């Protein structure tokens, strides 16, 4: 019963996107498990990179927490500000969302407006 409910939630979540599923052999995706094998950083090392939320858990920005990130949070923030759609969403998060959007490119974000927040110039979806 629980698995069926979980699959329904995933199906609803994924229905917001256009995607194609393509089969790949396991030998072609050998790096898929690399992140789970990284050593955990020391607690002192992560201090200051985590924000405390009232739910009693710590939210750590994955990119800031990586030892050697491929892309930095600053680069993501710059790209966000260059993208017309994400720049509008950023403004909505900062200054308030309109009741509805006349631009169809912005419409998919409206159903997640309560889940989107910012960290620097980066947009983050929490949930």
pLDDT, tens digit, 9 for 90 and up, residues 10-24: 888 888 888 888 888
Report the distance separating Cα 20 and Cα 1, nearest Å. 28
For residues 117 and 124, is the Cβ–Cβ distance under 8 A?
yes
DSSP code at position 42? P
Determine how many CB atoms are found less than 10 A away from the CB of residue 67: 8
Domain coordinates in residue numbering, the chain: 28-125
Q: Which residue do the tokens 């750590």 mark?
A: 60
Report the distance separating Cα 121 and Cα 94, nearest Å. 10
pLDDT, tens digit, 9 for 90 and up, residues 57-109: 344 455 555 556 677 888 888 999 999 999 999 999 999 999 888 888 998 99
pTM of the predicted model as reported, rounded to 2 decimal places: 0.49
For residues 109 and 116, is the Cβ–Cβ distance under 8 A?
yes
């Amino acid at each position: 019963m629980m698995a069926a409910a979980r699959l329904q939630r995933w199906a609803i979540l994924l229905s917001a996107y256009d995607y194609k599923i393509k089969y790949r052999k396991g030998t072609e995706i050998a790096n898929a498990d690399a992140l789970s094998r990284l050593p955990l950083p020391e607690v002192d090392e992560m201090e200051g990179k985590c924000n405390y939320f009232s739910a009693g858990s710590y939210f750590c920005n994955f990119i800031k927490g990586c030892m050697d990130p491929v892309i930095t949070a600053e680069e993501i923030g710059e790209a966000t500000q260059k993208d017309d759609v994400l720049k509008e969403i950023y403004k909505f998060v900062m200054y308030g969302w309109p009741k509805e959007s006349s631009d169809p490119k912005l419409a998919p974000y409206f159903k997640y407006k309560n889940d989107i927040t910012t960290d620097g110039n980066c947009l983050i979806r929490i949930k």
